[in-house]
Structure 1
Amino acid sequence: MCRPDNRKFTYDSFYNTYWKKIMNNIGLDHTPHETRYTTISKLTAKKVDDRVLRSIVGHTGKGIAEKVYTEIDLEVKLEAINLI
């Protein structure tokens, strides 16, 4: 998870700083992982390239070459998200 200044949050920091407050303000009780499951399911149903999917949801992938040598542009990620 990245902040606007591109520094990374730890899961606990993000959850405690933002997530709980957002859920409380909108009256819902969900976890960040629920959004990940939904996003992955919908992107998979739309046959989005697995590398793009993993990049969007922040999962590391199959091989070191893919992780190190393949960069997914923000534009490609946005196109993928806009399919759902």
Structure 2
Amino acid sequence: MNPMQASAWDQAAIALKHNVAKLPAGYQGKVRQIIGETLWEPLQRTTRHRFGKHVRANLEHYGLVFVGQAGTIAVYKKSAV
């Protein structure tokens, strides 16, 4: 991963954690929707894929719960805990 992608990854991770905290109870969405297009677009396709896998492996860290799939894309909701 080049330094620009690492920086974009870090910004996306920070935004995800911050935005999840502000989500209303019961909201369901994709990581892309939770982060926002502005921070999602700079990530390259392979980085997006790895970031999605990272989120899925660290749901507790981000305060998310896996809900299901929308096609091939994971859908999450804010954890009740």
Same-fold call, TM > 0.5?
Answer: no
* Structure-2-length-normalised TM-score: 0.29
Higher helix proportion, which one? 1
CA radius of gyration, larger in: 1
TM-score scaled by length of structure 1: 0.28
Greater relative contact order, per chain length (Cα 8 Å cut-off, separation 6+) = 2
